[in-house]
Every structure is written in C-alpha cells, then in structure tokens.
C-alpha cells in the first residue's frame, strides 16, 4: 500500500480486513493545517496508530484518548471508534488479525513508542501489501508484535460517563473548557445536587469531579500543544488566570512541564516523510 498523502484517492486505500496477511501496515502524511474527523467505524483487525507529527484524539464508548507525537493508540478489533486529527499529520498504522496471542493489549489504550517500535512501524508500512510470508518480512512483523506487547501504557485517557445527565454535562465542559465553574454550578446545570454529582461521576469514572476536570484539561492541552498552540494560548483557552498555574497543574499530572513534554516528543523526530512520500506516492 503506498504512503497516503493529500493527493491520494480512494483507489489508493485497501481495506485492511480484506488483506490476507496477519498484519497490514500503512503510512499517511498531510501538509494541511487544521483538523479532520473520521466518523464512528470499526475493523475486524486490531489497530495500532502511531502519531509522528500532529495529534490525534480517539473516541470510543466509555472513553477518550489523546495521542500526541511519538505516542500511539491501540484499538482492539471490533471496537467502534471515531478519530479526530489536528495539525500537520504524519502517522503509521498496523492492523493485526485476531487470534495472534503474544500478549497484546485487550483494551483501548495509548502507549509510549520506543525508537525500535517506531522504526518497525516505518518499515512495516513500506512492505508490499501481500508481502512474502515465512521470510524476512514475517520476522520483522513478529518483532513488531513483540514490541507492541511490551509498550508502556500512558495516562492520556479520559473516562467518559454513561449516565445521560453526566454525558450531557461532559459535552458542555468539553465544548467550553475555559469555564471554571464550581461543582455547585455544574451540578445545577445537570439538575443534580453537589453530592449526587460527586457520587455519580466517581462511580462512573473512578475520579472525583475535580480530578476528572483536571484530566480533561491535560488532554486538551496536549492536543492543542501538539497542534502548534503556544503555552500562553492553551492556558488562556483552559481558563487559567496565569501561565504558571497552568504549568503547575500540567506538571503535577504528567510529571513535567508542558514545554519539556512537547520538546521531548519532538526531539530526534525522524524527518523523512516528505522525501519518502514523494517517492512512494502514486
């Protein structure tokens, strides 16, 4: 499968579930600034999607995952999911057939991508669609699966409540993240008492209301920073009165400052996409 670009057509895409190979990989690259969405869909094969540049968010029933540069999202086979991409995107995906038992994740999650896993995905994406089985290509695929199985899971997950009142409230909060309203104010919007709201959100997400809102802020911050927004802009868009207060929250949650977090994501990034794409594009 060729590397998919802004000039690719529907004919350049082959549905991975229709390819008679245990693993099917491809690459994609877009120079367009902005965002696009892929509506709810699913594949019989599981999927790992690496973000090399830009950012993705993946929404499934019960959760939202943010995928910054040099991270990947794992989506089990048969899982309904929707994807939103932000910024200039470069990504690589591998679809894994059911029945491969090498300790792969059983639930949707984001994982940290080591240099080895990244290179394996780069190489797999450039294999022929029907690569020869039993030789070097199969050995590469076997190592790729082993690396996926041992990848470190990252805390970039926002559990989403299923209670309709809480879901409506969550949608409001995601649409207006700068609203720093109190627990009492948000409870009133949902037609609930403070105590009931706190009890429901703890039961459905495993987090307190304050912790859930803080995690939402971190998720949005990572997505916006990966899309090119400044720290000052992100702090303002999340409703913080000062940049230091936002940085403190970010550091407490992810263990480092937003500037260092993104610098580490981009440090040593492989810049081969444009030349590779030009050579591979139809």
Dump the DSSP string for 74-99. EE-TT--EEEEEEEEEEEEEEEE-TT
Cα gap 57→17, rounded to integer Å: 23
Instruction: For residues 151-167, give the mean pLDDT.
Output: 87
The percent of residues in the chain predicted with pLDDT above 90, rounded, is 50
Cβ atoms of 88 and 274 within 8 Å: the answer is no
Cα gap 205→133, rounded to integer Å: 44
Q: Where are the beta strands (DSSP E) in 78-207?
A: 81-96, 109-112, 153-154, 157-159
Q: For all residues of the chain together, what is the average pLDDT? A: 86
- Predicted local distance difference test score (pLDDT) of residue 1: 59
Count other C-beta atoms under 10 Å from residue 102's C-beta. 11
- Predicted local distance difference test score (pLDDT) of residue 280: 35
Q: At residue 51, does pLDDT exceed 90?
A: no
Instruction: For residues 157-179, give the mean pLDDT.
Output: 88
Instruction: For residues 112-117, give the mean pLDDT.
Output: 92
Give the pLDDT band (50/70/90) at residue 226.
confident
β partners of residue 29: 90
Q: At residue 271, does pLDDT exceed 90?
A: no
- Predicted local distance difference test score (pLDDT) of residue 277: 34
Q: How far is CA 130 from CA 24, 83, 117, 120, 227, in A?
A: 9, 27, 21, 17, 35
Q: How far is CA 242 from CA 23, 50, 182, in A?
A: 48, 33, 18
- Predicted local distance difference test score (pLDDT) of residue 194: 92
- Predicted local distance difference test score (pLDDT) of residue 275: 34
- Predicted local distance difference test score (pLDDT) of residue 267: 63
Cβ atoms of 46 and 23 within 8 Å: the answer is no
Give the pLDDT band (50/70/90) at residue 80.
very high
């Amino acid at each position: 499968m060729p590397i998919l670009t802004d000039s690719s057509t529907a004919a350049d895409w082959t549905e991975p579930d229709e390819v008679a190979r245990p693993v099917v990989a491809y690459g994609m690259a877009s120079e367009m600034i902005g965002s696009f969405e892929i509506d709810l869909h699913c594949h019989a094969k599981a999927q790992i999607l690496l973000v090399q540049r830009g950012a993705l968010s993946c929404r499934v029933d019960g959760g939202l995952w943010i995928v910054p540069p040099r991270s990947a999202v794992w989506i089990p086979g048969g899982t309904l999911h929707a994807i939103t991409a932000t910024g200039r995107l470069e990504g690589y995906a591998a679809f894994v057939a059911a029945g491969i038992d090498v300790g792969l994740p059983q639930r949707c999650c984001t994982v940290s991508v080591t240099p080895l896993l990244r290179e394996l995905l780069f190489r797999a994406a450039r294999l022929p669609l029907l690569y020869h089985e039993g030789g070097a290509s199969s050995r590469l695929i076997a190592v790729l699966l082993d690396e996926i199985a041992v990848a470190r899971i990252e805390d970039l997950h926002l559990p989403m409540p299923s209670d309709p009142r809480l879901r409506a409230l969550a949608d409001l909060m995601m649409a207006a993240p700068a609203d720093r309203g109190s627990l009492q104010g948000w409870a009133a919007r949902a037609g609930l008492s403070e105590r009931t709201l706190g009890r429901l959100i703890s039961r459905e997400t495993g987090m307190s209301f304050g912790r859930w809102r803080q995690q939402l802020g971190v998720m949005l911050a990572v997505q916006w920073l990966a899309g090119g927004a400044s720290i000052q802009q992100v702090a303002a868009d999340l409703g913080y009165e000062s940049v230091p207060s936002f940085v403190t929250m970010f550091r407490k949650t992810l263990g480092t400052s937003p500037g260092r977090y993104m610098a580490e994501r981009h440090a040593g990034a492989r810049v081969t996409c444009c030349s590779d794409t030009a050579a591979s594009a139809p």
